[in-house]
Amino acid sequence: MTIDSLARMTAEQFAKVDERFDEVDKRFDAVDARFDKVDNDMAEVKSALKTVLDVVLEIPSKKAFERLDDKVQTFDARLMSVEKKVK
């Protein structure tokens, strides 16, 4: 084996290794694209969840509604008492 053939063989092997790295880079690019899509999807889900949470938090609780109902009944009774006194 001559030095020239050894150099050619080495260059060919380096070229093959370089091709394999190119393939790996392409696969990493595909994986990065998938992760970017997942990140975008998760951001959309997070935004939608925040919207739902904001809506849910605006709905008064049953206890809050009952307290409000009690206040209305109290005010109604007081108003009726004042109306009777006025008549």
47-70 tens-digit pLDDT: 999 999 988 888 878 888 889 999
Tell me how many helices (H) and strands (E) the chain has. Answer: 2, 0
Query: Residue 63 sits in which domain range?
Result: 3-86
Instruction: Render pLDDT for 22-44 as a digit per residue (tens, 0 to 9).
Output: 999 999 999 999 999 999 999 99
Assessment of whether the complete model's pTM goes beyond 0.75: no
Q: What is the C-alpha separation between 61 and 59, in angstroms, rounded?
A: 6
Count of structural domains within the chain:
1
